[in-house]
C-alpha cells in the first residue's frame, strides 16, 4: 500500500446483510449479526493505513420503515456491539460518535451512545462516525433549523457555516465512499459531504467484505484523478506548452 494519497475519510454503505442470509436460507437477522462482525476488521484496516475518519452507514432514517422485529434486532446488535467495542475504542484511541437523528432512537441506546461519545471525546487516532437513524436530507434540514433558531443573517449562511451545523462538523468530507452488495446509489448517505467523493462499488455482500477488499478499494482510489472542477495539472498540456510552440 502506497503511504501517499491515503484517503483521510472513508465512508462505507454496508449493504447486503439480508441477501447474504436469504441466500443461505437463514433469517435476515443472521446477516445483520454476521455484518457487525466485519466492522472490527474494517476498523483495524483503516487505522493500519492512517485514515483519520471512518463513517459506517448502519441504519438509515428510512430503515425505520422495516418490520418491527428487524428494527429491534438491529438496535440490540448495536447496543451489544457498542458495549463490547467500548474498551477497544479506549485502548486504540478511537473517538466514537453518532451521526443521525437521535430523537428517534430508544432512550437507553441514546444514553449508551452519549456516554461512549463523552468518554471517547479526547481520543485522536480515528474518528468513527456511526450513521444511525441517519438521512442526509434530514441532517441538512436539522442544520437549517439550527441556523434559523440562531436567527442567522442570510448573507452569513455560507458553505462553511452550514457544514459546521451538520452532524459531521469538524470532520473532513469523505474522500472515498464504498458500497457493497452491487447497488449503485447513495440511499441518502452523506449527501452534502459527498459532493466530490470517489465511489467504489462492489458486488460483495457486506458480511463477506474483508480487510483485503478494503485495501483494494483504497488502492483503486489512489489511481483516480480528482479534479474538483479544475483542469488536471498532471495532464495540463496547455500549461506545459501555453503557446502551442512546436517542440516546446
The footprint of ligand IPE on residues 52-81 (CB under 6 A) is 57-60, 63, 74
Q: Which of 10, 13, 116, 143 is in the footprint of ligand IPE by CB under 6 A?
A: 13
- For CA atoms 72, 76, 79, 81, the dihedral sign is negative
232 assigned to active site: no
Q: Interface with Mg ion includes 15 (CB under 5 A)?
A: yes
CB 131 within 8 A of CB 59: yes
Binding partner of 136, given ligand IPE, Mg ion, none, CB within 5-8 angstroms per partner class: none
Q: Interface with ligand IPE includes 138 (CB under 6 A)?
A: no
Nearer to ligand IPE, 7 or 136 (CB): 136
Binding partner of 135, given ligand IPE, Mg ion, none, CB within 5-8 angstroms per partner class: none
Q: Around Cβ 9, how many Cβ atoms within 10 Å? A: 23
CA distance 175 to 187: 18
The footprint of ligand IPE on residues 147-186 (CB under 6 A) is 181, 183, 185
Nearer to Mg ion, 19 or 146 (CB): 19
Q: 174: left (phi > 0), else alpha (psi -120 to 50), else beta?
A: beta
Q: Interface with ligand IPE includes 47 (CB under 6 A)?
A: no
Q: Around Cβ 11, how many Cβ atoms within 10 Å? A: 27
Nearer to Mg ion, 128 or 189 (CB): 189
Cα 80 to Cα 5, 40, 156: the distances in Å are 35, 14, 43
Binding partner of 13, given ligand IPE, Mg ion, none, CB within 5-8 angstroms per partner class: ligand IPE
Mention every residue, 6+ apart, whose C-beta is less than 8 A from residue 45.
211, 214, 215
Q: Interface with ligand IPE includes 136 (CB under 6 A)?
A: no
CB 166 within 8 A of CB 191: no
Nearer to ligand IPE, 19 or 146 (CB): 19
15 assigned to active site: yes
Stretch touching Mg ion by CB under 5 A, among 13-21, 87-95, 163-171, 237-245: 13-21
Amino acid at each position: 500500500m502506497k503511504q501517499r494519497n491515503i484517503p483521510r475519510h472513508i465512508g462505507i454503505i454496508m449493504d447486503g446483510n439480508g441477501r447474504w442470509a436469504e441466500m443461505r436460507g437463514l433469517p435476515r437477522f443472521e446477516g445483520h449479526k454476521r455484518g457487525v462482525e466485519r466492522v472490527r476488521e474494517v476498523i483495524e484496516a483503516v487505522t493500519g493505513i492512517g485514515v483519520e475518519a471512518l463513517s459506517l452507514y448502519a441504519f438509515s432514517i428510512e430503515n425505520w420503515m422495516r418490520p418491527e422485529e428487524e428494527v429491534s434486532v438491529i438496535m440490540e446488535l448495536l447496543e451489544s456491539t457498542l458495549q463490547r467495542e467500548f474498551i477497544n475504542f479506549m485502548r486504540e484511541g478511537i473517538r466514537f460518535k453518532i451521526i443521525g437523528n437521535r430523537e428517534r432512537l430508544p432512550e437507553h441506546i441514546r444514553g449508551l451512545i452519549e456516554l461512549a461519545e463523552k468518554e471517547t471525546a479526547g481520543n485522536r487516532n480515528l474518528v468513527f462516525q456511526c450513521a444511525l437513524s441517519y438521512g442526509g436530507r434530514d441532517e441538512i434540514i436539522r442544520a437549517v433549523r439550527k441556523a434559523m433558531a440562531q436567527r442567522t443573517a442570510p448573507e452569513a449562511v455560507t458553505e462553511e457555516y452550514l457544514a459546521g451545523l451538520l452532524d459531521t462538523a469538524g470532520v473532513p468530507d469523505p474522500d472515498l465512499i464504498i458500497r457493497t452488495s452491487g447497488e449503485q446509489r447513495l440511499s441518502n448517505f452523506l449527501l452534502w459531504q459527498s459532493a466530490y467523493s470517489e465511489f467504489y462499488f462492489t458486488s460483495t455482500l457486506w458480511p463477506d467484505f474483508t480487510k483485503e477488499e478494503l485495501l483494494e478499494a483504497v488502492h483503486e482510489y489512489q489511481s483516480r484523478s480528482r479534479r474538483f472542477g479544475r483542469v488536471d495539472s498532471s495532464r495540463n498540456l496547455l500549461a506545459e506548452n501555453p503557446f502551442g510552440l512546436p517542440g516546446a
